[in-house]
Amino acid sequence: MREQWSVSLDGTQRTIEYLGCRVNGIMKILVDGELYEYVPTIKNKIGFLVKLDIPGHNVILNVSPNRKKINLIVNGYYADSWLPADEQLDLDEPSVLTSNNAYQENQEKIGLKSLFSFVLLSYLNLVLLIINADISFPFSAMLSRFPLLFGKVFYEHSNHIAFYVVGIFLSVLLCSVYAVLYVLSKKRIAPVYITLVLVIIDTAAMFLFHSFPGVLVDLVFHAWVIFALVNLLRTKLHMKHTQMGSSSAIGSEHAV
């Protein structure tokens, strides 16, 4: 359920739009085109209250307990009719959780942390394989382990250590590709695309070399990596679009 208001405050027209509520209760509100997420205050029989961060004015959005009625109250008056509000509501402080920029930056950090964990655990799995450990981490690349596995098998059958060394080198090299892509993904979008393609290929390869029941856990974790990368890619594209829009707006102002 969406609602929009246009109010004049201090001679400036402000546009406020209620977009809805997340499952976790956080409300999404547009203020002059910028997205904010608010943690509402809950009051019995009144419902959910959010005080917007507009200095010098008491602007409160009130969503009824059944969420069927939404009011914007500006300095004690309903914005729709400018009649006095039934309840004189006030909150001590604005309840801003985050702006859109901060939210996108946080989403980017989450995506990069997931990619870093994937890279780190891929390296750790190589170490565990070298020391013949009986455990391995599922949140990691699978194909990067193959050169080491083949090198180990050839070494055991031929007793030539060169096979083992080459296998270790190639496996470390493959893991390092992910590591380099992780570093580049901090500033660029293209490396995220490449990493996503590589992880999808790695996931598809799991079906070729493992039976389904045994691959289920790895599949779930690979799906999580893919989801994290898609979310990271979407976030970076959104941030790039926002930056381009801001640059265009600044350029227009200078042109005028």
Residue given tokens 């031929």 in the structure block: 158
State yes or no: pLDDT of 219 exceeds 80: yes
Tokens 């990493």 map to which residue? 195
pLDDT digits (tens, 9 = 90+) for 87-98: 666 666 655 555
What end-to-end distance do the CA atoms of the chain give, in Å? 39
CB 59 within 8 A of CB 72: yes
The half-sphere exposure of 39 on its side-chain side, counting CA atoms within 13 A, is 4
Read off the pLDDT of residues 193-210 as tens digits, 9 standing for 90 and up: 999 999 999 998 887 876
Q: Which residues contact 119 (CB under 8 A, 6 or more apart)?
A: 175, 178, 179, 182
Ranges of beta strands (E only) in 75-230 are 77-78, 96-99
Each residue's pLDDT tens digit, 153-165: 999 899 899 999 9
- The pLDDT value recorded for residue 183 is 95
* DSSP SS3 for 113: helix
Using the CB atoms, write b or e for 130-155: b if 16+ within 10 Å. Answer: eeeeeeeebbbbbbbbbbbebbbebb
140 phi-psi bin (left φ>0, alpha ψ -120 to 50, beta other): beta
Contact of 215 with 205, CB cutoff 8 Å: no
Predicted confidence at residue 87, as pLDDT, reads 67
Q: How many helices (H) and strands (E) does the chain have?
A: 5, 10
Residue pair 58/95 in contact by the 8 Å Cβ criterion: no
Least confident residue range of 142-146, 175-179, 201-205, 243-247: 243-247
The predicted structure's pLDDT at residue 212: 62
